[in-house]
Amino acid sequence: MKAAILSILSIVLVVVLIIGNIHWNIREDSPLSPIHDTPVSQEKSSNPESYFSLDYYMGFAKSWPEQAQQVLEAKLSDKKVFHILLVGSDAIGDQKIGLVTPLKEALASKYDQYVTVDSIVYEGTTSDYVSDEAYEALIDKKPDMVIFEPFLLHDNNVVNISTTLTNINEVMKETKESLPDVTFVLMPAHPLYDASLYPMQVSDLEKYAEAEEIPYWNHWEAWPDRKDEKVQDYYKELDGDKSIANEQGFEVWSEYLADKLISQ
């Protein structure tokens, strides 16, 4: 009797195992199965290539210059990186406080690893920059887009604005001979309270950009008016009649650039 019961239990166990195995295989083979070994969010982070969307990334670049958009699309199609380079005087700041660090964070949050930004700071005038052929360092970085603050505060009262514009043209010409697909964007340094000559130079820069069909990003429109005393709260005076944006100023400036580079 005991042996018979054990035999029956063994048969029942075998049947249960067979039915269970068949049921499991059906669930695994079904494309509608709700079972996931790894959450979707973890799958995306571990294999981002499988979720790559050209339209998704290009949607953020709607405010870019047309040529830069074309290069970005080509690079994204080949899963290559688009490089942005900030070039300017110490007015653009450094890694600790300046434009490049907040822009890196903003770009990475939208473009992932496909758009990078770096910076080059030059301590001199545009005439020094050209005579030193310092643009070679720019070319060596092989940028796809250059956001150029052409040392206007260094040229102020030192280099005539017509010479400044000639120097800017020379820098772009030399760069494009080596990097024909590069896009230049011009922008001024920070505004100064109630200045006289400097705003005229900035105005001439904007007119030059318009005449030459060079993109010009006027971040001054995000600052307090230059004739409003409040603008002094956005930069600090340094020795030798120099000045630089403070934390508040760089925040305004970098947010303006981020809005240009990331359309929402």
| Residue 231 tokens, joined | 């603008």
Closest CA to 93 of 114, 59, 113, 120: 120
- pLDDT tens per residue, range 192-240: 999 999 999 999 999 999 999 999 999 999 999 999 999 999 999 887 6
Please check whether residue 264 is in contact with residue 64, taking contact to mean a CB–CB distance below 8 angstroms. Answer: no
Do the strands 235-237 and 243-245 form a parallel or antiparallel pair, or are they unpaired?
antiparallel
Confidence of residue 52 (pLDDT cuts 50, 70, 90): confident
Length of the chain equals: 264
Q: What is the pLDDT of residues 119-178, one digit of tens each?
A: 999 999 999 999 999 999 999 999 999 999 999 999 999 999 999 999 999 999 999 999
Nearest Cα neighbor of 112 from 199, 184, 54 is 54
Of the candidates 219, 124, 214, 137, the residue with the CA atom closest to the CA atom of residue 174: 137
Whole-angstrom Cα distance, residue 2 to residue 13? Answer: 17
Q: Check the CA dihedral 101-235-134-175 and report its sign.
A: positive
pLDDT of residue 239: 79
Element (H, E) at 147: strand 145-148
Quote the CA–CA distance of 255 and 102 in Å, as a whole number. 8
The pLDDT of residue 3 is above 70: no
Could you tell me which CATH number the domain at 53-261 has? 3.40.50.1110
pLDDT at 264: 84
pLDDT for 242 equals: 85
Q: Which of 120, 100, 114 is nearest to 61 (CA)?
A: 114
Quickly list H helices, 96-233: 100-111, 126-131, 135-140, 152-155, 161-178, 197-211
Please give the sequence-ordered ranges of beta strands (E in DSSP) within 27-114, or none if there are none: 82-88
CA dist 191 and 249 (Å) reads 10
How far apart are the C-alpha atoms of 167 and 174, rounded to whole Å?
11
User: What is the model's pLDDT at position 11?
Assistant: 55
pLDDT in tens, 66-106: 999 999 999 999 999 999 999 999 999 999 999 999 999 99
Residue predicted with more confidence, 50 or 210: 210
Residue corresponding to tokens 């070994």 = 37
Q: Is 26 a residue whose pLDDT tops 80?
A: no
Distance from C-alpha of 159 to C-alpha of 201, rounded to nearest angstrom: 10
Confidence of residue 37 (pLDDT cuts 50, 70, 90): very low
3-state secondary structure of 50: helix
pLDDT over 60 (residue 16): no
